[in-house]
Structures are given as structure tokens and as C-alpha cells.
Amino acid sequence: MDAALAARWVWRAPGVAALVRVALLPAAGLYRVAVLGRNAAYDARLLASGRLSLPAIGVGNLAVGGTGKTPVAAYLAGELTRRGCRPGTILRGYGDDEPAEHAAMRPGAIVEAAPDRQLAARRAAARGADCLVLDDCLQRRDIAPDAMLAVVAAETWRPPRWPLPAGPWREGPEALGRADIVLVTARTASDAAAGALGADLAPRTRLGSWASARLAPATLRPLAGGPTEPIEGLAGRQVLGVSGIGEPGLFAEQLRGVGAEVRAMAFGDHHPYTADDVRAIIDAAGRGAVVTTAKDAVKLRPLWPAHGPRCLVAELTVRITGGADVLGGLLDRVATAARDTRTPAAGAPPVG
């Protein structure tokens, strides 16, 4: 069992796992104290937060994985492009899948991965970016973006919210105070439930506002490339749902939601697939189709045999279901700042 699978077992399973969770509570308490102390140091300006070289909108979450943060970041980049900007997406680069996933979702996009966000921002600017989308930065207190979204999943916002390592929670609800708005995502939850949660959490944010979004697979793309197919084509078919994401159960439920008969094969989040894994997947699929996520596809593609069974990639869409004006206002703010900082005479955004 890899580390991510072991962690998910500890956080969610009953029985022995519950005893392990209890045993980890002292470590979780120490983690919680350390996080609160670090945040207090930033709030008291004992530690400094720096601006980036370009206007930026940040996306972050309170828990480890499963909120849809990456597709939301890609959606924001697309919306900034629609407003006439050329956004660069900046991320920490945890695993090779994150940069590749962003690039696959938006061909030709500027994507830079580096632990040093200032360095990544300068690289994006040098490539022609005039604004930035920061993926996974709510806990990056050393960075001060122009706007910040805290992403919460409607399906997983339930107590107890145990801190790491006893649970998946990096921070508690108080972290929403560093975000302009909260964005509640829904995969299997109803739009009404997402909206109700957003309204409940909104007063904790800087602007006292919320938005909600539905994350749903809308099309299927062959892993080897080719035209897309409607997701409804899975109705009545037996499929093996393969995923190495934060909440694999939600992926399986979404496939069942379009009428597929699903057997799930879950790996750890950011799982580094091997040839042995691919053989196991093919054996498990039998005569059924293999359906995976865009995040997993970037690692499965080079390993998939040319004459192997058909593997389809479920491509997520982000549809705003509430608070579109609020979210649009944040994007307009960043787009306006991007236009104000352009230097037509130099022909490129500043680097510094």
C-alpha cells in the first residue's frame, strides 16, 4: 500500500483505522498548534508576505485533495483568457502530473512549476504572461495574491475535521478569513446543497461572499487521442473506473450517475503508475472499458500498450451554479490590473 492509500485508509476507514486516528491525535494537536503559530506570526507581520511580479488570483483549499482545485484553476485561467489576458498558471509542482494536467486542459497555456513561486512568476512573465493563477496557495502565506478563492467540496465538508496526520485537514474554517470568497464545488452533491454551504461559510471570508460550481465529466477522450465522445455513451456499459486522486469514490459515483456499471480501481493520490500497474488494470478490466481521469491520463498515456484495450479519459467541465457575479468581479479585478501593468512599448510584461 502506498503512502496516499495508507493515509486515506487512516482518515476514512472504520475499525482498526479509527484506532490509528485516535493514536495520531497528539501529532495532529502539535500540527494544529504549529499552523496556528505560523499564521499568528504572519498576521502580526513578524513574517513578511510579498507581492508577485504580475497581478494574481490564488486558489487553495483547507483539506488535502478532492476539492477540484486544479480544474477550478484551469477554469479561472480560461476566464482570464476570455477577458483578453494571457495568464500563467503557477503551481508547486508536486509530482509530474500537475503541470502536465494543466497543459493538457489548456493546450498552449503558460504553466510554470517551482517551489519558489516568485521564480515561477518571473519565468511565466518572461514567456509572455500578463497575470497569474496560483494553484494551491492558501497556505502560502509568503505570497500575497490580488484575489484569493478558498475551494471547499460540498461532499467532504463534514465533521469531524481532524488535522493532519489524523485527518486530511490542513486548516480549520478560520483559514477562510484569508480568502476573498469561498467557492463550493459539487460532484455528487446537489446545487442546492452547495449553495447552502456557500451561504453558511461566506461570512467567514473577507468579502462575505460565495460562489458554487458543478464539476462534472461531460466528454470522453480516447487516451491515445482522437475526437471526443459524449459521456452519456457510458450508459448501460460495464466500465473499470481507474483513479489516483484525492476522492476516488466521487469519480466512481459520477460515472454511475451517467448510467455506467462501474467497478472502481483506486490508487493513491498522485500515484506514479508503472507497467505492472497497467497490466493489473488491463487484467481487471476484462471485456469492459477503462475510464480514467485527466490527472491519471498524463501518467498512463506513455505506459498504455498500443494494442491494449480502449481507455477513455473523462474530461471535467466547471459550471458556475451560484455567485457568478461575485466570481466574475474578482476575475475582472485581476484582468483590469493586468491591462494596467502592460507596457506596450516594451512589448512584454515586466520581469522582476
Output the pLDDT for position 57.
98
2-11, 126-135, 332-341, 342-351: least confidently modelled range: 342-351
- The answer to whether the beta carbons of residues 83 and 259 sit under 8 Å apart is no
Q: How far is CA 224 from CA 227, 228, 297, 303, in A?
A: 10, 11, 10, 11
- Side chain identity at residue 305, one-letter code: P
More confident residue, 158 or 98: 158
76-97 mean pLDDT: 87
For the cut 70, the answer to whether the pLDDT of residue 95 exceeds it is no
Share of the chain above pLDDT 90, in %: 78
Output the pLDDT for position 67.
85
**Opening angle at CA 171, ends 56 and 33, nearest 5:** 120
Output the pLDDT for position 270.
86
Output the pLDDT for position 351.
37
40-47 mean pLDDT: 96
56-65, 89-98, 182-191, 281-290: least confidently modelled range: 89-98
Task: Kindly report, residue by residue over 232-277, the tens digit of the pLDDT.
Answer: 999 999 999 999 998 889 999 999 999 999 999 999 888 999 999 9
d(CA 127, CA 71): 22
46-66 mean pLDDT: 93
Output the pLDDT for position 345.
44
Output the pLDDT for position 277.
97
pTM of the full structure: 0.89
333-345 mean pLDDT: 81
Output the pLDDT for position 308.
85
Alpha helices (H) along 202-293: 248-257, 275-285
In which band, very low, low, confident or very high, does the pLDDT at 288 lie, cut at 50, 70 and 90? confident
| Whole-number average pLDDT of the chain | 91
Output the pLDDT for position 220.
96
15-23 mean pLDDT: 95
Q: Strand 311-322 and strand 209-222: pairing?
A: antiparallel
For the cut 80, the answer to whether the pLDDT of residue 349 exceeds it is no
d(CA 153, CA 226): 32
Residues shown for the chain: 352
127 burial level (CB within 10 Å; 0-12, 13-18, 19+): middle
d(CA 210, CA 197): 9
Question: What is the number of other CB atoms lying within 10 angstroms of the CB of residue 15?
Answer: 7
99-114 mean pLDDT: 81
Reading the block at residue 86, the C-alpha cell is 494571457
Looking up cell 456499459, which residue turns up?
237
For the cut 80, the answer to whether the pLDDT of residue 115 exceeds it is yes
d(CA 178, CA 19): 34
d(CA 27, CA 219): 43
In which band, very low, low, confident or very high, does the pLDDT at 159 lie, cut at 50, 70 and 90? confident
